[in-house]
Amino acid sequence: MLEGHQLLGFGFSVIGLWHFFNHVKLHALSSKSYTSTLWFPTTISRYLELHFVMASCTIFIAMELFIAPIHHQPFDPDGTIPSTHLHNFEHSSMAMSFLVYAIFAIVLDRKCSKAQNELTHLLAAIAFTQQFLLIHLHSRDHMGPEGQYHLLLQLLILISLATTLMGIGRPRSFLVCFVRSVSIFFQGVWLMIMGFLLWTPGFQAKGCFMHLEESGEYLVRCSDDESLHRAISLVNLQFSFLLIGITVFAMSFYWVIVRIYGEKVEYVSLIKEEHYREEDGFVKPKGAIDDVESQSPKKSKQEQI
Identify the pLDDT of residue 199.
Answer: 80
Give the CA angle between residues 48, 49, 54 to the nearest 5°. 95
Identify the pLDDT of residue 245.
Answer: 98
pLDDT confidence bin for 158, thresholds 50/70/90: very high
Strand, helix or coil at 99?
helix
Query: Phi, psi (5° rounding) for residue 116?
Result: -60, -50
Identify the pLDDT of residue 281.
Answer: 52
8 A C-beta contact, residue 246 and residue 168? no
* pLDDT(155) > 60: yes
- 92-109 confidence digits (pLDDT tens): 999 999 999 999 999 999
Within a domain: 178: yes
**Distance, CA of 207 to CA of 296 (rounded, Å):** 73
DSSP state, residue 137: T
Number of Cβ atoms within 10 Å of the Cβ of 173: 16
* Arithmetic mean of pLDDT, 40-61: 94
Identify the pLDDT of residue 80.
Answer: 79
Within a domain: 172: yes
Within a domain: 255: yes
- 161-201 confidence digits (pLDDT tens): 999 999 999 999 999 999 999 999 999 999 999 988 888 88
* pLDDT(63) > 50: yes
Within a domain: 177: yes
Domain with 162, as residue range(s), is 2-200+235-266
- 282-291 confidence digits (pLDDT tens): 444 444 444 4
Identify the pLDDT of residue 3.
Answer: 59
Within a domain: 294: no
Within a domain: 88: yes
**Distance, CA of 300 to CA of 297 (rounded, Å):** 9
Q: What is the chain's mean pLDDT, rounded?
A: 83
CA atoms within 13 A on the CB side of 298: 2
Identify the pLDDT of residue 283.
Answer: 47
Within a domain: 281: no
- 105-128 confidence digits (pLDDT tens): 999 999 877 889 999 999 999 999
* Arithmetic mean of pLDDT, 252-264: 87
- Whole-prediction pTM: 0.81
Within a domain: 213: no
Tell me how many domains the chain contains.
1
8 A C-beta contact, residue 257 and residue 24? yes
- In terms of DSSP bridges, do strands 218-222 and 208-212 run parallel, antiparallel, or are they unpaired? antiparallel
**Distance, CA of 84 to CA of 94 (rounded, Å):** 18
Please tell me the least confidently modeled range out of 24-33, 97-106, 133-142. Answer: 133-142
